[in-house]
Amino acid sequence: MARTFRQVGIAHRQLLTGHTFPVYRPSYYAEFRISRKAPYSTTAVTTSKEDCGPLTKHLQDQIRFGGPLSVAQFMRSALTHPLGGYYMKRDVFGAAGDFITSPEISQMFGEELLLQLVGIWFITHWQTLGSPKDIQIVELGPGRGTLMSDMLRALGHFPQIHGAIRGVHMVDASPHLRQMQATKLAPSVKFPEDLKSVTREDGLEVHWHESLDSVPEGICSMFVAHEFFDAMPIYKFELTKDGWREIVVTLDESPHSPHHFAFSLSEGPTKASSMIMAYEKFQHKYQVGDRIEVAPDSYAVSNRISRRIKENSGGALFIDYGRDYALGDSLRGIRKHQFVDVLSHPGEADLSADVDFSFLRDSAQDLAAAHGPITQSTFLRAMGIAARMQMLLKNADAEKRKDLATGFDRVVSPAGMGTVYKFLALTPLDCDQPYPFQPDPLMQHESPEDQPAAAA
């Protein structure tokens, strides 16, 4: 009998250690052999290997002494390991970094998204909840702090909700990014290197946490996560004639490859394939050769948020790119605005994968009501971005009008980010469906039957 994911999740907690670098368990993959028959990575014909930094050497030692790594283990290390994880050492955002987040594409989009979308959405939802007198705002993966800074500026125009905020909580494991966030949120305040909290000029206290677990409970909480779930570690699996098998990371010692690591397919079941793929949604509609990516950490975080909403009220807004079903090969690496091999130079490239919104929706179960996802285009248009655009154009010179039009098209047009990004909301079970989460015509192409999630 197939187990529900709640049961699988309980067993799987033995494999998860949260969002910071985990303690390595060398026995995890020691019990099976690796098949190198399938070409899971393409390599250039060369005799010289890439430079081998401290993190690469550390991962090599893990594999040599403990066996292959799950893709999730490799991804988590590449992003957050203290020896040189991607998010642990520098500013990775903006034109000088490796990628640009959607609030930074144009100031118009940042203001509109946060003032008219996030701000008004949370204000409206707060009123729907009966305007509770005590709330806290929680952001997961705050980046530079741009979204929260603009959101608080927007809420500052509404004294009632601003006066109800008892704390702002930022969940981020990167010390470097915390410093950037503090500078953005409280530019006139001096703060220590070991940053834990600051008090803004408007009196709001901002606190930092390495994980959601340390964020206070017992209070109505408004959660926002923008491009957070796409960076959560994923496991990769392939369906064979003998059942689901895990795609893992092993050493690439070929003299004809420049890389130090390669993808391989396990010959037999692993703990991850046995536990995760027992979830009943993965038991149907897949054919031999199909691949699938699963992010149990995403499920766990969304489930914990849903539980908090049930116990203390509140709401959540998730903004990310992805589909309303699981994909098979969306894992990508980006360095200096270019796609790169995901196993090349760990720690030097951003690794991310498309979000499975159906998985986040499933995580709410009977704890919270999940609404959406709907496309960014539909959300922004419903929140009045076109009218705001017209107002801005009236007071802009020719050069500014061109910049505004470019930014508008990029975030709203289906040819840009309009259908790539999705919005999902979580509310208490007894709340009405929030605006603008209605059936979205632009989501009609999101059927997994029309676009198989895991093509071979």
Is 77 in contact with 55 (CB distance < 8 Å)?
A: yes
Tokens of 70: 């799950």
Dmax of the chain from CA atoms? 67
Q: Is the peptide bond before 452 cis (omega within 30 degrees of 0)?
A: no
Kindly state the average pLDDT of the residues 148-160.
90
pLDDT at 90: 59
> What number of H helices and E strands is found in the chain?
14, 18
Beta bridge partners of residue 234, listed in sequence order: none
Where is average pLDDT lowest: 92-106, 358-372, 400-414? 92-106
Place of tokens 């003299």: 255
Instruction: Name residue 347's amino acid.
Output: G
Kindly state the average pLDDT of the residues 156-183.
93
Place of tokens 């419903």: 382
Is the model's pLDDT at 282 over the cut of 60? yes
User: What pairing do the DSSP bridges indicate for beta strands 314-323 and 355-356?
Assistant: parallel
CA distances from 410 to 74, 102, 104, 190, 392 (A): 33, 9, 12, 37, 17
Where is average pLDDT lowest: 102-106, 277-281, 432-436? 102-106
pLDDT at 46: 53
pLDDT at 174: 84
63 pLDDT band, cuts 50/70/90, is very high
pLDDT at 26: 31
What are the start-end ranges of the E strands in 149-285?
A: 165-171, 197-199, 205-209, 220-226, 235-240, 243-251, 261-266
Residue 95's contacts (CB-CB under 8 Å, 6 or more residues apart) are: none
Q: Tens of pLDDT along 288-305?
A: 999 999 999 999 999 999
pLDDT at 263: 97
Rounded to two decimals, what is the model's pTM? Answer: 0.83
Other CB atoms within 10 A of residue 283 CB: 11
Which H or E run includes 35? strand 34-35
Question: Can you tell me the distance from the alpha carbon of 144 to that of 111, in angstroms, rounded to the nearest whole number?
Answer: 15
Is 378 in contact with 442 (CB distance < 8 Å)?
A: yes
Q: Tens of pLDDT along 187-221?
A: 888 777 778 999 999 999 999 999 999 999 999 99
Residue 386's contacts (CB-CB under 8 Å, 6 or more residues apart) are: none
pLDDT at 33: 36
Main-chain dihedrals φ then ψ at residue 56, nearest 5 degrees: -60, -45
Place of tokens 């709401």: 315
pLDDT at 240: 96
Coil vs helix vs strand at 70: strand
Other CB atoms within 10 A of residue 448 CB: 15
User: What structural domains does the chain harbor?
Assistant: 79-93+100-232+296-328+351-427 (3.40.50.150), 235-294 (no CATH)
pLDDT at 19: 34
Reduced 3-state DSSP string for 352-394: ECCEEHHHHHHHHCCCCEEEEEEEHHHHHHHCCHHHHHHHHHH
pLDDT at 139: 97
Coil vs helix vs strand at 328: coil
| Residues recorded for the chain | 456
pLDDT at 453: 45
pLDDT at 176: 84
What are the start-end ranges of the E strands in 48-158?
A: 69-70, 135-140
Where is average pLDDT lowest: 38-42, 150-154, 214-218, 415-419? 38-42
Kindly state the average pLDDT of the residues 167-176.
92
Mean pLDDT (the chain, rounded): 83
Question: Can you tell me the distance from the alpha carbon of 208 to that of 176, in angstroms, rounded to the nearest whole number?
Answer: 12
Q: Is 159 exposed, middle or buried (0-12, 13-18, 19+ CB in 10 A)?
A: exposed
Question: Can you tell me the distance from the alpha carbon of 442 to that of 378, in angstroms, rounded to the nearest whole number?
Answer: 8
More confident residue, 86 or 368: 368
Q: Tens of pLDDT along 7-51?
A: 333 333 333 333 332 322 333 333 333 333 344 555 445 568 998
Is the model's pLDDT at 5 over the cut of 70? no
What DSSP character marks residue 96?
A: T
Q: What is the distance of C-alpha 377 from the center of its chain?
A: 20
